[in-house]
Amino acid sequence: MDATEFRRRGKEMVDLIADYLENIEQRPVYPDVEPGYLRSLIPEEAPEEPETYEDVVKDIERVIMPGVTHWHSPYFYAYFPTANSFPAMLADMLSGAIGCIGFSWAASPACTELETVMMDWLGKMLKLPEDFIAGTHGQGGGVIQGTASEATLVALLAARSRAVRMILASDPQRPETGITSKLVAYSSDQAHCSVERAGMIAGVRMKKIPTEQSDKYAVQGETLRRMIKEDKAAGLIPFYFCATLGTTPSCAFDHITELGPICNAEKIWMHIDAAYAGSSFICPEFRPLLNGIEFADSFNFNPHKWLLVNFDCSTILCRNIVFLLNRLFHLTRGTHWQIPLGRRFRSLKMWFVFRMYGLKGLQDYIRKHVELAKEFESLVRADQRFEISADVVLGLVCFRLKGSNEVNETLLKRINNGRKIHLVPCQLSGQFVLRFAVCARTTESRHIREAWRLITQLAEEVMQELPH
Amino acid sequence: MDATEFRRRGKEMVDLIADYLENIEQRPVYPDVEPGYLRSLIPEEAPEEPETYEDVVKDIERVIMPGVTHWHSPYFYAYFPTANSFPAMLADMLSGAIGCIGFSWAASPACTELETVMMDWLGKMLKLPEDFIAGTHGQGGGVIQGTASEATLVALLAARSRAVRMILASDPQRPETGITSKLVAYSSDQAHCSVERAGMIAGVRMKKIPTEQSDKYAVQGETLRRMIKEDKAAGLIPFYFCATLGTTPSCAFDHITELGPICNAEKIWMHIDAAYAGSSFICPEFRPLLNGIEFADSFNFNPHKWLLVNFDCSTILCRNIVFLLNRLFHLTRGTHWQIPLGRRFRSLKMWFVFRMYGLKGLQDYIRKHVELAKEFESLVRADQRFEISADVVLGLVCFRLKGSNEVNETLLKRINNGRKIHLVPCQLSGQFVLRFAVCARTTESRHIREAWRLITQLAEEVMQELPH
């Protein structure tokens, strides 16, 4: 395929994409296939001779679409949102064509530099403290990672490096080997599994801090203080605490204004994982949720979740730690702050999206999702058979039928088997809970009401089947 | 921007991309900007109100292009190639629109399943042993990573997990803490820096095995055997060896037929990093370079380097280790074999490229690059002032002016400042060497000859300036 054919096929693909997204709500949101469905639909080996583009394109509907979970359907309420916007897609097309690999400044100066400036734009949108902004001389700033998993791992590695260096500085005779096995990291028992996994990868102890429903699943300062004290008494070295703002199960918020000073006093690196909720902090009314950031060493969230920048675009912002990450990875500013060395020109997506929506457009989008969640919450609250399981702060509603876990499990199974809407569950204090997350860019009030109509209809069926 | 406007803007972007790639050789391949050039060209903050698409697009030439290193110019000979093909770009557009996050089977069955089957296609193209193929019941198979850095890290983590389990199985009383600090991993001193970094991340000792020019920079079995013996005598536990096929400096090949049996006998995990060279093994004439794969536990290479699949697409294939990676990351087949949890629908790119080129088309492409490298080698060899610094096996030619490092450094600086062609250097046995890598899909013999004309012209200038 040469550039001339690409002009034709590319335009056809643009139409295919527009058709797909315009008509997505007509598709069943959750696929009706069994594991292994795809293998029998295509050959066992790559072809020897080229096939035509027509052959390939017609297989999109035959092979791929039957097995797609349609994350951008307005009837998709599972997990958390993943971003999808036209400006981001256009920028990503350009990124693919430029196809530079930004592993150093010289490998493509524009790639490194636009990223540094976009992270400053982001930091200012979030009203972060000055030392999280690179500017022209700053020690802080940010970098784009692929995912929050990588961001929390990078933060933990930087914390490990700082801890080892501090220990050696205070006791130069101490052998370096063995220090790591004494280090202990903390996070909430509500934290994302990738936080624990980061500890496994780095080979450090990782302790989960228990939370309670009565505390709205927030880590309590008292609990953290007690665990630190016990671990120090046992000869361990607390070095890292990952706070979560907006947990995956219920969108709970750790109280970083209380936890931050404890970490600072103990020289524990405080990292904040706000993968989902972070985007909302661009709205003044949600920004107080980030109060306490001034005690943190690093902060990550995913514009690719809720800020209209297509995956992958997970951002980490740090203060005064360039030198640490540089020593860890021997690097120059704005590059290599990550596990992979290669990287796409991902900041183009941020640039296109921020400019074409403007801060106001992005705020409107966040607010609309929160309003839709509140609308769903009202519908649930108005129905005596249901209960709300956690405070609705942003775009997630945790709810359940009053009754057993079993009846709720049956309800969820019925909902997903219907394939008209898609939800996933969570466990909260031993209860099986349904999570309703407003996800798609195109979700409107009518979709929320239709979803609720389906849920209540299925709930009635399920309850009628219950033994009396 | 709605779907209607996207239809228009998307088609304009397709033309912009085609124009860029059709005319890329008219641009200076290496940008003429100073660090920090971009910041002053754009505002310090994101706009409050939306801008128009025209505003954004006109800034591509004003802000971005002056700072782009054009990796797809036929005059780009730096680093190693990064893939760029029209079928891959079309597939990636589709991937962006579907925008599913494949972190589990249910999150998008097509994403997980196409990936598993594409990895089998790849394994068969490479004629890998049967136990590297998943099929319907296999224990082996492959998965797409973002980069080779992640692939080597994942392999090392799996090896660490296996080693710890074997040690605990043979000595159940032994405390688990402290084992990691006894583990030792090996790689060539020619290995990519990400291999050493993987060891740093995982917190294990990483030893570099010295190589010699006289051995063509290949790790010698004798050296590996001696290091293992010494380390065991010192109470350490050898557990991982990363062999390199096609090193970054000179495209050297470790002799895995000799090294593999040593690793197997010592229960050391042998991983093979063939990031660049791996793609060439689809050609029968280069496949012997992979002989010895039967001794390996895992193998990675980057279709996003030399197999026309745009970044990011780094593949790792493993045998009989599903259970290990699963235990490490608690997972189901084909998902989560990686550091990030989220992932794009990357196998679409492989599917489009393999079908639209066919195996023969891909082989032709590899062979053409190798021929162009051989052509460049002949030009160098025909000029008495120059010497070839390492065997030319694939698409990389290492060469230098006979003379001091200083004169070669001056020559390279002159070449890159000319901005007509772009090369990077390497160090081989203390010598400053120029690397000429055939990179772009569109490089032809005329570009090679033009590059050589420029190099000799600048070499003459440099030599005339030398003090007599």
Question: A178–B178: do the CB atoms touch at under 8 Å?
Answer: yes
Could you give the CA distance from residue A454 to residue B208 in angstroms, rounded to a whole number? 62
Q: Residue A33 has what pLDDT?
A: 95
Concatenated DSSP letters of A157-181: HHHHHHHHHHHHHH-TTS-STTSGG
Could you give the CA distance from residue B381 to residue B387 in angstroms, rounded to a whole number? 7
For residue A333, pLDDT beyond 60: no
B450–chain A Cβ distance below 8 A for any pair: no
Q: How far A397 CA sits from the closest chain B CA (Å)?
A: 20
For residue A213, pLDDT beyond 90: yes
Q: Residue B175 has what pLDDT?
A: 83
Q: How many CB atoms lie within 10 A of CB A55?
A: 12
pLDDT per residue as tens digits for the range B301-343? 999 999 999 999 999 999 865 544 544 443 433 344 556 667 8
Beta-carbon contacts of residue A415 (< 8 Å; ≥ 6 apart): A421, A422, A423, A434, A454, A455, A458
Asked if residues B211 and B247 have their Cβ atoms less than 8 Å apart, the reply is no
Q: Residue A330 has what pLDDT?
A: 39
Amino acid identity for residue B275 in this structure: A
Q: How far A386 CA sits from the closest chain B CA (Å)?
A: 27
Question: Which uninterrupted H or E stretch holds B237?
Answer: strand B237-244
Express as a percent the part of chain A with pLDDT over 90.
80
Q: Residue A468 has what pLDDT?
A: 65
Q: Residue B329 has what pLDDT?
A: 47
pTM: 0.95
Token pair for B15:
């033309």
pLDDT per residue as tens digits for the range A346-356? 999 999 999 99
Q: What angle do CA B320, B324, B330 make, to 5 degrees?
A: 130
Question: B203–A202: do the CB atoms touch at under 8 Å?
Answer: yes
Nearest-by-Cβ selection for B360 from A33, A49, A124: A49
Question: B20–A97: do the CB atoms touch at under 8 Å?
Answer: yes
Q: Residue A78 has what pLDDT?
A: 96
Could you give the CA distance from residue B113 to residue B335 in angstroms, rounded to a whole number? 10
**Residue in A104, A102, A453, A1 with CA at minimum distance from that of residue B85:** A1
Question: B328–A49: do the CB atoms touch at under 8 Å?
Answer: no
Strand residue runs (E) in A210-280? 237-244, 269-273
Number of H helices, E strands in chain A: 13, 11
Question: A68–B181: do the CB atoms touch at under 8 Å?
Answer: no
Lowest mean pLDDT: which of A303-307, A434-438, B102-106? B102-106
Amino acid identity for residue B153 in this structure: L
Beta-carbon contacts of residue B21 (< 8 Å; ≥ 6 apart): A3, A97, B72, B84
Question: A355–B35: do the CB atoms touch at under 8 Å?
Answer: no
Q: Residue A322 has what pLDDT?
A: 56
Q: What is the mean pLDDT of residues A197-215?
A: 92
Nearest-by-Cβ selection for A99 from B13, B72, B180: B72
B181–chain A Cβ distance below 8 A for any pair: yes
Asked if residues B420 and B452 have their Cβ atoms less than 8 Å apart, the reply is no
Could you give the CA distance from residue A5 to residue A18 in angstroms, rounded to a whole number? 20
Could you give the CA distance from residue A186 to residue A91 in angstroms, rounded to a whole number? 38
Alpha carbon A55 to its chain's center: 36
Q: What is the mean pLDDT of residues B354-368?
A: 98
Q: How far A258 CA sits from the closest chain B CA (Å)?
A: 30
Q: Which residues of A touch B107 (CB under 8 A)?
A: 69, 79
Alpha carbon A218 to its chain's center: 19
Asked if residues B312 and B304 have their Cβ atoms less than 8 Å apart, the reply is yes
Amino acid identity for residue A454 in this structure: L
**Residue in B280, B123, B143, B313 with CA at minimum distance from that of residue A46:** B123
Q: Which residues of A touch B84 (CB under 8 A)?
A: 96-97, 99
Could you give the CA distance from residue B43 to residue B41 in angstroms, rounded to a whole number? 7
pLDDT per residue as tens digits for the range A46-58? 999 999 999 999 9
Beta-carbon contacts of residue B413 (< 8 Å; ≥ 6 apart): none
A3–chain B Cβ distance below 8 A for any pair: yes
Sole residue written with tokens 């389990």:
B165
Q: What is the mean pLDDT of residues A444-455?
A: 98
**Residue in B296, B345, B303, B346 with CA at minimum distance from that of residue B321:** B296
Lowest mean pLDDT: which of A86-95, A341-350, B258-267? A341-350
Q: What is the mean pLDDT of residues B130-156?
A: 86
Question: Which residue in A has a C-alpha nearest to residue B442's C-alpha?
Answer: A2
Confidence at B418, pLDDT banded by 50, 70, 90:
very high
Asked if residues A125 and A349 have their Cβ atoms less than 8 Å apart, the reply is no
Q: Residue B240 has what pLDDT?
A: 97
Could you give the CA distance from residue A247 to residue B365 in angstroms, rounded to a whole number? 48
Sole residue written with tokens 């009314």:
A285
**Torsion angle in degrees (nearest 10) through CA of A170, A174, A180, A182:** -80
For chain B, what is the mean pLDDT? 93
Asked if residues A101 and A343 have their Cβ atoms less than 8 Å apart, the reply is yes
Question: B99–A203: do the CB atoms touch at under 8 Å?
Answer: no
Q: How many CB atoms lie within 10 A of CB A347?
A: 30
B94–chain A Cβ distance below 8 A for any pair: yes
For residue A283, pLDDT beyond 60: yes
Could you give the CA distance from residue B304 to residue B288 in angstroms, rounded to a whole number? 22
Confidence at A138, pLDDT banded by 50, 70, 90:
confident
For chain A, give every domain's residue range. Answer: 100-344
Q: What is the dotted CATH code of the domain comprising B100-344? A: 3.40.640.10
- Residue A284, burial from CB neighbour count under 10 angstroms (0-12, 13-18, 19+): exposed
pLDDT per residue as tens digits for the range A139-196? 788 888 888 888 898 899 889 988 988 999 999 898 877 888 899 999 999 999 888 8
Q: Residue B138 has what pLDDT?
A: 74
Asked if residues A127 and A293 have their Cβ atoms less than 8 Å apart, the reply is no
Lowest mean pLDDT: which of B170-179, B226-235, B324-333? B324-333
For residue A9, pLDDT beyond 70: yes
A176–chain B Cβ distance below 8 A for any pair: no
A358–chain B Cβ distance below 8 A for any pair: yes
Question: B93–A14: do the CB atoms touch at under 8 Å?
Answer: yes
Helix or strand or coil: residue B238? strand
Helix or strand or coil: residue B318? strand
Helix or strand or coil: residue B209? strand
Q: How far B184 CA sits from the closest chain A CA (Å)?
A: 13
Q: Residue A331 has what pLDDT?
A: 40
Confidence at A410, pLDDT banded by 50, 70, 90:
very high
Interface test with chain A among B330, B356, B419, by most A beta carbons within 10 Å: B356
Q: Residue B249 has what pLDDT?
A: 95
Question: Which uninterrupted H or E stretch holds A327?
Answer: helix A322-329
For residue B372, pLDDT beyond 80: yes
For residue A329, pLDDT beyond 90: no
Token pair for A408:
């709720």
pLDDT per residue as tens digits for the range A20-75? 999 999 999 999 999 999 999 999 999 999 999 999 999 999 999 999 999 999 99
Could you give the CA distance from residue A291 to residue A133 in angstroms, rounded to a whole number? 17
Asked if residues B326 and A194 have their Cβ atoms less than 8 Å apart, the reply is no
pLDDT per residue as tens digits for the range B6-26? 999 999 999 999 999 999 999
Asked if residues B293 and B129 have their Cβ atoms less than 8 Å apart, the reply is yes
A265–chain B Cβ distance below 8 A for any pair: no
Q: Residue B404 has what pLDDT?
A: 96
Cβ-Cβ contacts under 8 Å between A and B: the total is: 392
B164–chain A Cβ distance below 8 A for any pair: no
Give Cα separations from A147 to A305, B25, B121 (angstroms).
10, 35, 28
